[in-house]
Structure 1
């Protein structure tokens, strides 16, 4: 795992994911790819009088904002001790990130924690997780770091998504100081037990500790967050569950709640 893709946009979550991406790239000894995806390129329109005209004002304003943002990011990166590049594409964010994910190892996006209209970050997360080829770090807006060498908590329920997330996170888990696997009892029948996840990690030289709290009235996401706090986890590895393509209802309740309410980074695969 060497190639880190960072979503560039002037939004509330940018500073947190920028710092997280820098931390991660340093820990991996890798390369940071900065991607600015903007669909507001020059557009053509028919006005019925002069024929085809260019919507110059909109595209010019967008171009100026892009240039200002790029200059600021490049100025800041020049003072950092990481290898990096900066690319701009004419595409909406989710499409641009997904198309550029084929040769990256991990993508850094923001959660929906601080966004009043969280349909936008949830929509980007959903589209990228369902279409990209790399796992995604979902960074809370108020957490300006990513400690790859700290304690990791794996949320395990034996599903395909959980297995995908675990496999994708192996390079990170190898750097973790401690790895905990948590299973919360649910009314679901999955094929792979908790021990199988621990054995898989052992094949990669990763020791893990298993936790199986009894089923209770507390929701899965609340239990997961409580256990993360208890073991002092720096990040949580989890599968993203859900099937609906409606942007605000893309994920199941546990995944959606964690994207909105989790205050430590998530490492997520679908």
Structure 2
């Protein structure tokens, strides 16, 4: 891990609450997917629900494209055998998920719908405090590229997106939280949307990452510390020395992951696509890099 400079710490050392704080997180939307990270996402939702005394809404969406086949001449017909197999698979998935939740001490419900995956998730997320999803799409042959799917959620939703780490470890909402701070409006939105989650953290650190492009709307990290302090969140600021040479998004992404691992962070809070979706200015590229793969859980918003 590279050297870093400790700049500021509010109120001495981090404060651990004697009683669980009211995080304000009351509705967790869990995107149910039958993939390799299925159990990890369920455990993430359960752990967060217990810590925040929240309700878990389990939502499984079957893409409408999965039921439809296209003829060579443009005709569309429904394949009865495909429908039967998909319905059987969905019923089996629902049975497994509901059995798991019935054994737990949290409030929950389960919904199985068919339609456009991103649009339905966005609709349900409108009245949710956090959305737990995955890097894996619903179906590789129907859902499209993972980064594109998550990018749609980020750009169109105002609900923070929680993506468990690709290392498979369980998410700990009471662990150390690392805020990757670039001073952008999107980063500020991500922090504001994640205040409830940050209140559950045992420690919060702000990592000021170097940028090659600064703008007049950028917020200094000291303002972020003041904002967090008013929310009862006592954070410390770390400034990472700017690397020499060209600072690309892979360098910044690697720096964030290295610092998060070194600090033992449970998750990273960051703004997504801080410039343009198609542009590759630093933090836009960082978003794409970390959406593709990140061993640490991400809490990200646009």
How high is the TM-score relative to the length of structure 1?
0.88
Q: What is the Cα deviation at residue 81 of structure 1?
A: 1.2
CA separation of 1:101 and 1:52: change in aligned 2, threshold 3 A: closer
- Name the structure 1 match of 2:254: 222
Distance 1:23 1:263 in 2: 18
- Number of the residue aligned with 1:22: 46
- Pick from 224, 238, 244: which aligns with 2:277? 244
| 235-244 or 28-37, larger mean C-alpha shift | 235-244
Q: Distance in 2 between matches of 1:235 and 1:201?
A: 17
How many Å separate the matches in 2 of 1:52 and 1:187?
A: 50
Q: Are 1:269 and 2:294 counterparts?
A: no
- CA distance in structure 1 between the partners assigned to 2:112 and 2:278 by the alignment: 27
**What number of residue pairs does the alignment pair up?**
262
Is 1:260 equivalent to 2:285 in the alignment?
Answer: no
| Counterparts of residues 52-67 of structure 1 (less than 5 Å) | 54-67=78-91
Is the CA contact (8 Å cut-off) linking 2:166 and 2:293 kept in structure 1? no
- Report the Cα distance in structure 1 between the residues aligned to 2:110 and 2:162, rounded to whole angstroms: 19
SS at match of 2:34: coil
C-alpha distance in structure 2 between counterparts of 1:100 and 1:180, whole Å? 31
CA contact (8 A) 2:268 2:299 kept: yes
Checking the alignment, whether the CA contact within 8 Å between 2:189 and 2:271 is kept in structure 1 is: yes
Q: Are 1:157 and 2:182 an aligned pair?
A: yes
CA contact (8 A) 2:59 2:111 kept: yes
**Equivalent position to 1:78, from 78, 102, 109:** 102
Counterpart secondary structure, 1:90: strand
Task: Give the whole-Å Cα distance in 2 for the aligned partners of 1:185 and 1:122.
Answer: 24
The runs of 4+ residues in structure 1 deviating greater than 2 Å are: 39-48, 51-55, 115-121, 140-144, 242-246
Alignment of 1:1-270 (within 5 A): 1-40=25-64, 54-111=78-135, 120-190=145-215, 191-217=218-244, 219-241=251-273, 243-244=276-277, 252-270=284-302
Q: Which is further off, 166-175 or 125-134?
A: 125-134
CA positional deviation for 1:13:
2.1
SS class of match (2:63): coil
Contact 1:150/1:177 (CA < 8 Å) preserved in 2? yes
Contiguous gaps of at least 5 residues in structure 1: none
Change (3 A) 1:214 1:59: same
Question: Does the aligned pair in 2 maintain the 1:165–1:237 contact within 8 Å?
Answer: yes
Q: Are residues 157 and 54 of structure 1, via their aligned partners in 2, closer, same or farther at CA, if it must alter by over 3 Å?
A: closer
> How far apart are residue 261 of structure 1 and its match?
3.1
Could you tell me whether the CA contact under 8 Å between 1:16 and 1:140 is conserved in 2?
no
Aligned equivalents of 2:219, 2:170: Cα separation in 1: 33
Structure 2: gaps spanning 5 or more residues: 1-24
* 2:158/2:301 contact within 8 Å kept: no
| Structure 1 range deviating more: 61-70 or 209-218 | 209-218
Q: Which has the higher contact order (CA 8 A, sep 6+)?
A: 2
